[in-house]
Structure formats: C-alpha cells, structure tokens
A and B are shown apart, each in its own frame.
Chain A
Amino acid sequence: MGSLTMEMHPVYLFLDPYLIWFYRLTGHAALNFLLGTFVLASLAFLVGECTSNLAMSLVRRHLGRTADEAKKYQDLSMEALKTGDRPAYEATNKLANDAFGQSFFMQLTLSATFFWPIFFALGWMQYRFLEMEFPIPGTNWSLGYIGGFILIYIAAYLILKRLPWIRRIKAWCGAVGHQAQGQEST
C-alpha cells in the first residue's frame, strides 16, 4: 500500500510522527528498525493485554457458566466411560460437545481483544516498510516487515511477560472491567 498511495489513514497520520521517532534513535538503519519495531511490538502487546483483560473481566461470569457446563458433562462422560455405560457416555459426550462449542466460540471471539493491536501496528508498517527487505546474512533469504515484526513481537512478549509492572497494569485493566461489571449488575 505504501508505495502505491503514500496517503496514510488519518489515524496513522496522527500517530506516525510519534511512532517513527523510535526508528530514528541511532545512526544505524538495522538497529533503528530493531528498536522502533520493538517499541511498536511492546505497545501492541501492552494494549492487547489491557483490552483482553478488560474484556475478560467483563464476560468472565458468562464464560465461566458455559465452561462449567462443558466441564460438568465432560466429567460425567469420563465417569460413564469408567463404569462402561456406553449410552450414558454417548449422551454426556454430546452435551459436552455442545457446551464446549459454545465456550470455544466465546473464547475465539475474545481473542480479537488481544490481536487487534498487532494488525493495527502491521497496518502502519505497511505504509512505512512495505518495500523494505532485510537480507539474511549467509542465505538467499530475506526478511520482510511482517516477518521482522512477528519475530520482534515474540521477543517483546517473552520479555514483557516477566516484568512485574505488567501484572499491575493487567490487574488494573481487570479492575476497571470488574467495576463496570458491578455497575451493570446494580
């Protein structure tokens, strides 16, 4: 898109000067890309963690109810297997499957609350780095902006996950959700 348009989406146009600043910290292009993308990936991770915790705290009760039902029938089907009661096993297995399906889709949809910032970041990178190619030394292969982002995102994820203040931010986001949930109940 970048080479074709150069017309950034207004949201990206607003964020662009701040985001690109992190790509101009040193005089070395590769290091700049690493640093800038690490910051971008960290922001995507933090925002994703926060929105997913917020969402989870809002729907935990509903999700728990469905998951409990799936677990209940799953345990029952196990018990039916142990006792060799085949008809009871088939019945409970069917119900476990139904409840599992419902719970599966709820969780599947909720994962969007974690993923959206990754695509948002890739959208900005598409404008800025679409034509960039990083050759891998000693090979004929090269790394595009998506590959670079994915690898750096994994690194940022592994590093940030261990930091204690991340847990505090997550807890805060969860608390905001609980508060909203409490207000909804009353």
Chain B
Amino acid sequence: MKRNTWILIGMAVILVAFAALVLTAPAEAGKLEEAIAKTPAGTGPGQINPEATKGFMGIPGAPHHFWLFYILWGIWVGWIFSSVGAFGGIMAGVGHISVFGLSDYASTFKKTSPFLNKMLTDSIRTSNQYLVGLSALISSFTYYRMGRLVLPLGLCLAAGGILAGYLVPLLTVGKMDVSFYVGFFGIIVFAVAFVLFYETTPKGQASKKAAKAAAKAFEDIHIRKCAVDEGGAHACGVQVKHWGLTRIAFTFYGQEFSFNPLWPVLGGFVINGISAFIGVGGGFLYVPFLTSVAGLPMFIVAGTSALAVLVGMIVNIFNMMVVRAVPVDFVLISTELIGIAIGSVLGPMTSKKIPDVWLKRIFVVLAVYVGIGYLTKGFMGKSIFPGM
C-alpha cells in the first residue's frame, strides 16, 4: 500500500478511535430529557403534552409521519442527487425543515422553550450532515484511489476544514434559532440556484461548447501520442519543488503549478464551515474550488480533495454528535437512507431520458421557490410561498 494511503488511514483511525472513546450516549439522552423538562406542559402551541403520541426523537406531540413517506422523500432526494448533483443535499434539508414540519414545530418553542428550539435546529442540521456527509466519506475513498495526492495542498485544505469544523459547532450549537437557520439555508439555496441557472444560460452553454471543441481539437492531434507515451508519463508525476509560507510549488508532467497556502486554508475553512453550519453543501465544493479557482488538474485534485473531505467530515460529525452531543432520530435517517438508496439506482436509469439543460431549468425554478420561501420565512417571520 502507498505511504500516503497509510497516512490517510492512520489519521482516520486516530480520529474515529478518539471519537469512539469519548462517545457518551447518556449526554445525548440527558440533553433531550432536560429540554423537554424545561418546556411547559400543556396542549397549546409551544407546550408539550406528555400524553400525546411520540414523534420526532420520541418527543410527545412532535411531527410524526408514516414510514413510507420518509422513504418516498428519500427516493426523491436520491434521484436528484444522482441526476442533478448538489441540489439533492438541499432537498434533504427541505425535507427536514418543511416537508416533515420540523422547522414549524421547533418555531413554536421560540418563546416557551428556547433550549428545545435550538436543540431541534441542531438536530435538523446534524441529520442533514449525516445524510450528505457520511456518503461523502465513502465517495472520497473511491476518488482517493483514482487520484494522486499533493500532500501540502491536502494538508492546507484539511487545516482550514478542521478549524471550521471546530469553530462552527463551538459558536453555533445550542445558540442558533430555527428561523435564523432557515434564512441562511435560503441563502445557500440561492447560491446553488445561481450556479444551476448560469449553466443553462447561452453563456454557460457556450463556455461548455467551447471547452468541448478545444478538447476535441486537442484529442484529434494528440490522442495517438498519448497512448505511446503512457510509460513516460508516469515518471512525470507530482514533484514538490518548494515549500514556503507564502508559496508552495510543484511540477506535474513537467508543468509548474504554484499556490499560496493561504488560499486552500481559506477555501477549506469556508467549504467545511458551510458544511458544519448548514449541514449540506460542503465536501463536494473542494473539486470545483481547486480546478476552477486554483486552476489545478482534475487528476491531482480528486485525490487531494478526498483527504480534505475525509478529515473535515470526521471533525464535523465528531463535534456535532460527540462533543456537542446533538441528539438525532436514527429511525428517520435510516428510512430516508433506504429511499436515497432506491433513488440512487433510479437516477442514473431515468435521468438520461430528460435533457440535462431542462433538468437544470426545472431545478432552478424549484431552487428560486425554495430560496425565496426560506429567506422570507427565516428573516421576515413568514414565507411568502405556501408549503415552506
């Protein structure tokens, strides 16, 4: 096995072992019981009726749905994930916030039990994190195997990610009101909508066409040479030429690449910060960040970002679940995952039947609807659209 693989596995094992050692479930249980005890008993809004049917996380009177509903929503999320991409994570969040009614339920405790309100907010984003983040973990291993690792770059990204993974839960767990969370979720939805929209515009389409034409022209001239030179190419892998506080340089296939370490640290911080704050939209941003912003080759980026994703996710989940002891409803998560699993099979089988550009246009409309709905609900107190 390669040395870098051992480094990766070693880091993961140390973090998981440490996390496992201090995992104290009673803290999780105690926290929920404490929150319920602090909430006034009764049948009105913002009160808990101990006699009511138990719902989300076993809280009496909390939203509760038939299990098939969770599976169906999971199928929808899985289908979007495997056909449109990042928007699947948004839909996982929409499910928890709106479809299952958890945000509205949490809002009722805003004045009567702020502790329960904030704990439910943390639970929603940790549930998102589980659905989106844990899947990224296994994918990052897959991509690590196919890529190559630029260790200084991976370490810079991971350093930023660890910092965000530590700071964001420290500053926000138990402190974030559900309305505030929903508002910020709306902002992220808008960002995703903007990217999707750009890809459907004539400019976005033209840039893709131009890239395809340039690639085709290059392929026509060089494709044979590529096959002949395969052995020689391997000898020109990543070679780090300079390590410095302001500049790290390496050569790849004879071409020199350099970066200021501050940028990947900042990138790692922002990307993992979003992931820890909202619960969606983290790890997968590393690859576009490194290829588009830093201009690095995909071949290197895939392996390097895998290291950053892995470290970031372990820190996030460790912090939310273990250090902050945020309770989650595993029944809800596992039934949703069954749906996502089904959707992951249906997505690749059916999405090719719908033109890519139309698929994106549909989701732009949906994203604008959800984004405006959440922004108004979060920051103005009431969504201007129904169903949010």
Contact = CB atoms under 8 A, between A and B. Distances in A.
A74 B253 CA distance: 13
A112 B337 contact: yes
Interface string A85-123: 101111111111110111011111111111111011011
Interface in B212-270: 212-215, 217-219, 222-223, 225-226, 229, 233, 236, 252-255
Q: Which of A2, A120, A154 has the most CB of B within 10 A?
A: A120
Interface string B187-224: 00000000000000000000110111111011100110
Contacts of A106: 82, 344, 347-348
A116 to B, nearest CB: 4
A109 B78 contact: yes
Contacts of A70: 298
Contact of B217 (A66, A88, A95): A88
Nearest to A97: B291
B297 A101 contact: no
A109 B343 contact: yes
A20 interface: no
Contacts of B213: 91
Main secondary structure of the interface of A (DSSP, over half): helix
A108 B81 contact: yes
A79 B222 contact: yes
A129 B15 CA distance: 24
A3 B157 CA distance: 41
Interface stretch (A4-12, A34-42, A164-172): A4-12
B163 interface: no
B139 A104 contact: yes
Contact of A5 (B58, B82, B218, B252): B58
Contacts of A122: 330, 334
Given A59-B345, A105-B82, 7 more contacts: A73-B298, A88-B214, A97-B292, A108-B81, A111-B137, A146-B25, A147-B20
Interface of A: 1-5, 7, 9, 11-12, 51, 55, 58-59, 62-63, 66, 70, 73-85, 87-98, 100-102, 104-117, 119-120, 122-123, 126, 129-133, 136, 139, 141-148, 150-151, 154, 184
